[in-house]
Amino acid sequence: MPDLSAFPITRKWPARHPDRIQLYSLPTPNGVKVSIMLEETGLPYEPHLVRFDTDDQLSPEFLSLNPNNKIPAILDPNGPGGKPLALFESGAILLYLADKSGKLIPADPARRYETIQWVMFQMGGIGPMFGQLGFFHKFAGKDYEDKRPRDRYVAESRRLLKVLEQRLEGRAWIMGDEYTIADVATLPWVRNLVGFYEAGDLVGIKDFVNVRRVLDAFVQRPAVVKGLDTPRRG
């Protein structure tokens, strides 16, 4: 049985199954990327809820694993060379889990890098821009009299959706017929934009027929249904 006692995070979130991947997360768009990936690949894991309302992400134990105090993070007791591996940043975790499982990433080198390209598109564009739009539309930013910041993120979010719409024309998924980590990275953010952020009308989501089609297919996947609710909020 692996010994994870050297990792301070296990003092706050004890591992009942230390032989499984330990997931420290919350059901946010970035968080569910990893829970969905774990469900899709079938890799054994144990989820731990990181509560923002009690500042768990700022605790010394969590910071020992991720000094950037963001979710998700994982601790794999069976990492490369059989040694434990701690990782943060959802994009890096998706790549690691894809390589570990041999799933959701093409074996062909050219298509592999094309897939990674679309993951980076989500990490550098869709995630930050949709998140800012959510702030200015639904949260504290909605009270600002000056709507120029919100409108700037509306325009950029629409531009990104147009890029995604064009990519999905004639394709079942971002990489064509093959469902990959590019979809796992991107579609939770689209779902959050039109759902939790309630910004569908604002960005004109009805105009993006392909995006809506693929999102509908995504949320019907059993692994996605379970991953979207993991870790369960207490």
Determine the average pLDDT of the residues in 201-218: 98
**Domain match, 94 and 117 both:** no
pLDDT recorded at residue 3 = 86
Determine the average pLDDT of the residues in 90-117: 98
Task: Give the chain as a DSSP string.
Answer: ----TTSTHHHHS--SSTTSEEEEE-SSHHHHHHHHHHHHHT--EEEEE--TTTTGGGSHHHHHH-TT--S-EEEETT-GGG--EEEESHHHHHHHHHHHHT-SS-SSHHHHHHHHHHHHHIIIIIHHHHHHHHHHHHSGGGG-S--HHHHHHHHHHHHHHHHHHHHHTT-SBTBBTB--HHHHHHHHHHHHHHTTT--HHHHTGGG-HHHHHHHHHHHTSHHHHHHTT-SPP-
Residue ending a domain, among 37, 68, 103, is 103
pLDDT recorded at residue 150 = 94
Tokens 């692996």, located at residue: 2
Q: Say if residue 217's pLDDT is above 90.
A: yes
Q: Give residues with Cβ within 8 angstroms of 16, minimum separation 6.
A: 46
pLDDT digits (tens, 9 = 90+) for 34-46: 999 999 999 999 9
Is 97 inside a domain boundary?
A: yes
**Domain match, 82 and 152 both:** no
Is 232 inside a domain boundary?
A: no
**Domain match, 166 and 191 both:** yes
pLDDT recorded at residue 142 = 87
**Domain match, 190 and 137 both:** yes
**Domain match, 190 and 162 both:** yes
pLDDT recorded at residue 134 = 96
**Domain match, 213 and 113 both:** yes
**Domain match, 87 and 149 both:** no
pLDDT digits (tens, 9 = 90+) for 173-192: 999 999 999 999 999 999 99
Question: What percentage of the chain reaches a pLDDT higher than 90?
Answer: 96
Is 229 inside a domain boundary?
A: no
> How many domains does the chain divide into?
2
Is 231 inside a domain boundary?
A: no
Determine the average pLDDT of the residues in 48-72: 97
Strand 21-25's sheet: what is its strand order?
A: 45-49, 21-25, 73-76, 85-88
pLDDT digits (tens, 9 = 90+) for 1-30: 788 999 999 999 999 999 999 999 999 999
Residue 73: phi and psi, rounded to 5, are -145, 155
pLDDT digits (tens, 9 = 90+) for 121-172: 999 999 999 999 999 999 989 889 999 999 999 999 999 999 999 999 999 9
- The CATH number of whichever domain residue 156 belongs to comes to 1.20.1050.10
Q: Say if residue 233's pLDDT is above 90.
A: no
**Domain match, 87 and 132 both:** no
**Domain match, 165 and 211 both:** yes
Is 2 inside a domain boundary?
A: no
Residue ending a domain, among 54, 88, 103, is 103
Distance from C-alpha of 84 to C-alpha of 81, rounded to nearest angstrom: 9
**Domain match, 215 and 120 both:** yes
**Domain match, 94 and 114 both:** no
The overall average pLDDT reported for the chain is 97
Question: What percentage of the chain reaches a pLDDT higher than 70?
Answer: 100
Residue ending a domain, among 103, 138, 172, is 103
Determine the average pLDDT of the residues in 108-118: 98
Distances (CA, A) of 62 to 27, 46, 52, 117: 17, 16, 12, 30
Q: Say if residue 112's pLDDT is above 90.
A: yes
- The CATH number of whichever domain residue 39 belongs to comes to 3.40.30.10
**Domain match, 54 and 151 both:** no
Structural domain of 180:
109-223
Q: Say if residue 234's pLDDT is above 70.
A: no
